[in-house]
Structure 1
Amino acid sequence: MRAVITRALLLAAGLVALVFVATAGFLTYSHAVTTAAEADRRDAAVVAGVLAVSADPDAIRGTIARTAAGAGGRLSVVLRDGTRLGAGGGAPAASVDGAVVSVVPAAVPFPFFAVFLVVGVALVALGAAVWLGHRPFTPVLAALRELTTSVGRRVRLRGPRELEALAESIDEASSRTSQLLAKEREMIADVSHRLRTPLAALRLDADAVGAGPVADRIRSAVSTLGHDVDRIIQSLQPSEGEQAGTCDVASVVQTRMVFWSAHAADQGRMCEIDVGEPCWVPLAPDALGAVVDTLLENVFRHTPPAAPVGVSVVRHGGWVTLVVEDGGTGVADPSSALHRGSSGGGSTGLGLDIARAAAEATGGTIHLERGRLGGARVRLRFGEADSHHEPASPRAWRLWHGHP
C-alpha cells in the first residue's frame, strides 16, 4: 500500500514539477529576450539624442561605438544624404530629422543555468512533497497493518472512519464465523455421541445374532450405516487448531468409560481404568470424548470379545498422556495405520486419524506400539493447558516391536 501511495504522489507531484519547470523556463527566456530588446532601444535612443543636436559623422560614429549594440556591430545610422554609419542593417529603431537609426536584434541564448537551477529546486520540492504527502496516510497505513495482523482476534484500531467501519464488519464476520464453527463442533459431538456409540452397541448385538440370511442382512446394514457415519464425521471434522476451550481428560475419560465398561461387561472383557488426577488440555470436551469413543470402538470392533482392554491417563512434565490398549492380535500394518482413509482391518481408517488430529492440535503426538496386554497400544500425548512444554517431534510415531 505504501508503494502505491508513493507512486501516486510521485506521479502527481512530478506532473506539477514538470509544469513548473516548463513555465519557469519559458518565463526566464522571455525575460531575457525582453531585457535584450530594452537594451537595444536604449542604445538607439542614445544615438538618436546625439543626432538631434549634431550631424557630425565623427561624433555619431563615436556614440555608436560606445553603445553595446554598436560595439557588437548591430547598430547603424543612415543620414539624410544616404551615408551609412556603423554596421548592420536591422529594423528602424528611431528617426531624427531624416536620419534613421537601425538595430539588429541580439541573439539571446537559452538560459540553461537558470533552468537547471529551477530543475534542482523542483526535484527538492518533489521529494518534500512525497515525504509530506505520506504523513496524512500514516493513520491509514497503520490501520491497514493492524487489519492484516488481526487474524484470529478482535480488530481494534483508530483511523479513518471508513477503516473503522471495515474493522467492525470484520469483527462481526469473525464473530459469526466463530459461532458457526462452534455449532459445527456441536454437530460433530452430536454425531459422535448419538450415532457412533449406539452404532457400536448395535454392531456388537449384530455379531451376537449368529449365522443366517437375516443376521447377514443386519450386519451388512450396520456396516453400511457405520461407513455413512464415518463419512459424516470426516466431512465435519474440524481442521487442526480449530478446537476451542479446555477440558479435564480424567473427567471426560471417566464419563465415556461408563458406557464402554458396560459393553465390556456384556462381552466378558476385563476392563482396566486408571485416570489419576485431574489434568486439563486445550480441547473441547466433545472433541476429546469423540477421540475416546473412536479408540474404544476400534478395540471392540477389531479384537475378540474376551480380549482385555485398558485405559489410563497420566500427567507428566507439561504433557497429558492417554493410553488405550488391548489384548488382541495388534495392528497388521502399523506403517500405514495412521494415514487417513487407510486401515488394515477393513475400516475407514478415520479413528486413528481423528485421534492424531486432536493430539497435534495441542502440539502433541500419537504413538502406536505393542502394549503390555499383548495387543496394540495407542498412546496420545496432549500438551497440557497453560503449561510450557517443548514441541514434540516427530508428531506421529509408528512403533511396533515383537514379543520379547
Structure 2
Amino acid sequence: MRSVITRALLLAAGLVTVVFLATAGFLLRGQAVSAAAAADQRDAAVVGAVLAVSADPDAVRGTIARTSAGAEGRLSVVLADGTRLGAGGGSAMVSVGGAVVSVVPAAVPFPFGTALVVVGVAGLVLAGGIFLGHRPFTPVITALRVLASSSGRRVRLTGPRELEALAESINEASTRTSQLVAKEREMIADVSHRLRTPLAALRLDADAVGSGPVADRIRSAVSTLGHDVDRIIQALQPVESEAASTCDVASVVEARMKFWSAHADDQGRVCEIDVGEPAWVPLSPDALAAVVDALLENVFRHTPPAAPVGVSVVRHAGWVTLVVEDGGTGVADPSSALHRGISGGGSTGLGLDIARAAAVATGGTIHLERGRLGGARVRLRFGEANSHHAPASPRAWRLWRGHP
C-alpha cells in the first residue's frame, strides 16, 4: 500500500515539477532577453547623447568603442550626410539630428547556472512533497496493517470511517461464522452420542450371530463404525495446540482396503489396488482413513454391485495422488457433487467435501472426472510432507465434463 501511494505521489508531484521547471525556464529565458535588450538600449542612448552635442566622426567613433554593443561590433551610426560609423546594421533605436543609431540584437545564452539552482530547488520540493504527502495516508496504512494482522481475532482499529465500517463488518461475519461452527459442532456431537445406543445393540447382535466370514465382516464393520463415532467426538473437543502429524498414504490405503476388498468380494466386484511406494503427507492417519472410507462408501452406495472399483496411489514431484474410480454411470453434475449438502442423487455430498478439505489442507486439489473404468474418478492431489513446492493452482478444485 505504501509503495502504491509513493508512486501516485511521485507521479503527481513529478508532473507539477515538470510544469514548474518549464515555466521557470521560459521566464529565465525571457528575463535574459529583456536584460540584453535594455543594455543595447542604454548603449544606443549613450551614443545618441554624444550626437546631440557633436556630430564629429572621431568623437562618435570613440563613444561607440566604449559601449558594450560597439565593442562587440553590433552598434553603428549613420550620420546626416550618410557616413556610416561602426559595424553592424541592425534595427534603428535612436535618431538625433538626422543621425540614426542602430544596434544588432545580441545572441542571448541560456542562463544554465540559474537553471541548475532552480532544478535543485525543484528536486528538494519534490522530495518534501512526497514525504509530506504520506502523512495524510498514515492512518489508512496503520489501519490496514492492523486489519491484515487481525486474523483469528476481533479487529479493533481507528482510522478512516470506511475502514472502521469494514472492521465492524468483518467482526460481525467472524461472530456469525463462530456461531455457525459452534452450532455445527453441537449438532454433530448430539448425533454422535445418539449413535452410541444403536451401536451397542449392533455389537450385541453381531456377537450373537456366531462365527463365519459374514459374521466377522459384520463385527468388523460395527467396530469400525464405533471407532469413527469415537473419533468424531474426540475431534469436537477444542485443542489448544497439536503437533503436526504425518502418515504414509500407501500404508493407510492398504489397511483400509482390507475391509473394502472383503466387501467387494461379497458383492462380486472386481477391486484393483495399486498403492506403490511409501508416500508421506501432512495428515493424521485417522484423517486420511476417513477420506478413503468416504470415497469408497460413495462407490459402494451409488454404483451397481457388479461395478468394478480401482484405488491407486502415485508419488511424483512433491505431490501424492490418490485415485478412486469406479465402473458406474458417472456423476451427472460434477459441480454440485463437489459442494457440501447439495450433491443430489440421494447423497449429502459430505464424502467429497471431506476429501476436498483434506486435500486443500495440504495445499492440494480435488479433481472429479470420468475414469478409465467408465464411471466417476476422484483424483486427490496431496502436498507431500516436507516438500517445498508452489501451491497448486487453482487451490480448490477443477471440473471436467468430458467423456473418455
Give the TM-score taking structure 1 as reference length. 0.55
Partner of 1:194: 194
> 1:13-34: CA deviations, max 9, x gaps?
1111111111111101110000
Deviation at residue 209 of structure 1 after TM alignment? 4.3
1:340 and 2:265 correspond: no
Partner of 1:67: 67
1:180 and 2:180 correspond: yes
Q: Which runs of 5+ in 2 are unaligned?
A: 243-279, 297-404
Change (3 A) 1:244 1:194: closer
1:152 and 2:138 correspond: no
Contact 1:77/1:102, CA 8 A, preserved across alignment: yes
One-letter amino acid matched to 1:204: R
Change (3 A) 1:245 1:216: closer
Change (3 A) 1:58 1:181: same
Deviation at residue 158 of structure 1 after TM alignment? 1.0
Aligned-partner Cα distance in 2 for 1:203–1:43: 124
Give the number of equivalent residue pairs: 256
Q: Which runs of 5+ in 1 are unaligned?
A: 247-280, 284-334, 350-404
* Mapping for residues 212-361 of structure 1, pairs under 5 Å: 223=221, 338=285, 340-342=287-289
1:120 and 2:120 correspond: yes
Choose between structure 1 and 2 for higher RCO, CA contacts under 8 A separated by at least 6 residues.
Answer: 1
> 1:44-90: CA deviations, max 9, x gaps?
12212222221111111111112111111110001122211011111
Give the TM-score taking structure 2 as reference length. 0.55
* Mapping for residues 387-398 of structure 1, pairs under 5 Å: none
Contact 2:206/2:218, CA 8 A, preserved across alignment: no
Aligned-partner Cα distance in 1 for 2:62–2:68: 12
* Identical columns (%): 60
Aligned-partner Cα distance in 2 for 1:152–1:6: 31
Q: Please state whether the residue corresponding to 2:285 is helix, strand or coil.
A: coil
Q: Please state whether the residue corresponding to 1:85 is helix, strand or coil.
A: strand
Deviation at residue 166 of structure 1 after TM alignment? 0.9
Deviation at residue 227 of structure 1 after TM alignment? 6.7
Deviation at residue 221 of structure 1 after TM alignment? 12
Partner of 1:131: 131
Contact 2:89/2:104, CA 8 A, preserved across alignment: yes
Aligned-partner Cα distance in 2 for 1:186–1:97: 117
Contact 1:14/1:126, CA 8 A, preserved across alignment: yes
Deviation at residue 339 of structure 1 after TM alignment? 5.2
Partner of 1:36: 36
Contact 2:199/2:222, CA 8 A, preserved across alignment: no
Aligned-partner Cα distance in 2 for 1:29–1:2: 39
Q: Please state whether the residue corresponding to 2:176 is helix, strand or coil.
A: helix
Partner of 1:18: 18
> 1:104-137: CA deviations, max 9, x gaps?
1011101111111111101111111111111111
Partner of 1:171: 171
One-letter amino acid matched to 2:287: R
Deviation at residue 237 of structure 1 after TM alignment? 9.2
Aligned-partner Cα distance in 2 for 1:69–1:14: 42
Contact 2:207/2:219, CA 8 A, preserved across alignment: no
Contact 1:89/1:102, CA 8 A, preserved across alignment: yes
Aligned-partner Cα distance in 1 for 2:205–2:138: 71
> 1:219-267: CA deviations, max 9, x gaps?
869959977996x999x999x9xx6768xxxxxxxxxxxxxxxxxxxxx
Aligned-partner Cα distance in 2 for 1:179–1:173: 10
Partner of 2:86: 86
